[in-house]
Amino acid sequence: MPSLELTFLGTGTSQGVPIIGCDCHVCRSKDPRDNRTRTSLLIKAPDLHFVIDTPPDFRDQCLREEINRLDAALFTHAHTDHIMGFDDMRRFCEMEDRKMPIFAGEETMSHLRRMFQYAFDPPQIWKNYLRLSPNVIQGPFQLGETTVLPVELPHGKMTTTGYVFSREGRKLLAYFTDCASVPDVAREAARGAEVLVLGALRDAPHPTHMNFEQAFKTAAAIAPGRTFLVHLCHEVAHAKKELEMSEGCQLAYDGLKVLSTKS
């Protein structure tokens, strides 16, 4: 039975929850599930461990989940809330004395290169600095025995990259965040996956993110085993909102672990 072990490192929007200086009831909530760092997912395959996005909170997320191994990083897009922990991957280079393989679409990679120039074009190689092995995504690729199918998702004037992960020909995970919708090609790619992760901001519509209603409809169309919602803003109180989920859908929270297994 092929499987992936998922850890939701972060499940929040760009400002996280609580938001600085906000005294709304969710930002003041004592429910730890309302405490959301910026969205990121750790995926442990039997052969390799990889992460999707490195938010500013990445060091904290690694410490919290006691992550001491990382074999690759995939990026959805180059907005700050998804990449500003990039340099903290240096530690995984140091521990294994290796370059970190990173995967991103062409536009995302060019932004990463612009922002983290020193790591892409280092004047000198230091053992404890971030060393990269950049891979611009052109189509499906392998991470060890895991096949990764990238798909394009609309996010305002730009596109983000969604990812569908399979092992032994079984779809184990589709990860679609920061998108205004999930177009047909991406729906087909994800159809029947064991686990679907979808970005769902809040109840109210938003020009570049799906809201709950759109996420529920998208999940129903993809018909996965289970759906987990991420990229949640401070309008979402976990305890209240979890009672309003569509069938098969649930809210993710920081630290949630899910085993994605398909027989």
Of 3, 14, 2, whose CA–CA distance to 53 is shortest? 14
Q: Which of 5, 29, 48, 59 binds its own copies (CB under 8 A)?
A: 59
> For residue 142, what is the enclosing H or E element?
strand 141-143
Helix, strand or coil, per DSSP, at residue 34: helix
Stretch that binds its own copies, among 44-52, 76-84, 137-145, 247-255 (CB under 8 A): 76-84
Is 57 a binding residue for its own copies by CB under 8 A? The answer is yes
- x/- letters, 6..45, toward its own copies (CB under 8 A): --------xxx-xxxx------------------------
Q: Which is nearer to its own copies, 115 or 256 (CB)?
A: 115
Is 110 a binding residue for its own copies by CB under 8 A? The answer is no
Q: Is omega for the bond preceding 154 within 30 degrees of 0, making it cis?
A: no
Site for its own copies, residues 192 to 231, rule: CB under 8 A: none
Residue indicated by tokens 């340099």: 87
Is 133 a binding residue for its own copies by CB under 8 A? The answer is no
Q: CA-to-CA distance for 194 and 204, rounded, in angstroms?
A: 28
Q: Which is nearer to its own copies, 88 or 194 (CB)?
A: 88
- Whether the CB-CB separation of 216 and 208 falls below 8 Å is answered with no
Q: Smallest gap, in angstroms, from Cβ of residue 72 to its own copies?
A: 16
Q: Which of 43, 67, 73, 180 binds its own copies (CB under 8 A)?
A: 67
Q: Which of 24, 63, 204, 259 binds its own copies (CB under 8 A)?
A: 63
Is 233 a binding residue for its own copies by CB under 8 A? The answer is no
Q: CA-to-CA distance for 105 and 136, rounded, in angstroms?
A: 6
Q: Which of 24, 95, 185, 239 binds its own copies (CB under 8 A)?
A: 95
Q: What's the first-to-final CA gap in the chain, in angstroms? A: 5
Of 200, 208, 215, whose CA–CA distance to 11 is shortest? 200
Residues near 194 by beta carbon (within 8 Å), at least 6 away in sequence: 170, 171, 172, 173, 224, 225, 226, 260, 261, 262
Q: Smallest gap, in angstroms, from Cβ of residue 55 to its own copies?
A: 9
Hey, what are 1's tokens?
Answer: 């039975």
94: number of Cβ within 10 Å = 15
Q: Smallest gap, in angstroms, from Cβ of residue 12 to its own copies?
A: 10
Is 100 a binding residue for its own copies by CB under 8 A? The answer is no
Q: CA-to-CA distance for 222 and 225, rounded, in angstroms?
A: 10
Stretch that binds its own copies, among 84-92, 178-186, 193-201, 213-221 (CB under 8 A): 84-92
Which residues of this chain interact with its own copies, rule CB under 8 A?
Answer: 14-16, 18-21, 56-60, 62-63, 67-69, 80-81, 84-88, 90-92, 95, 114-117
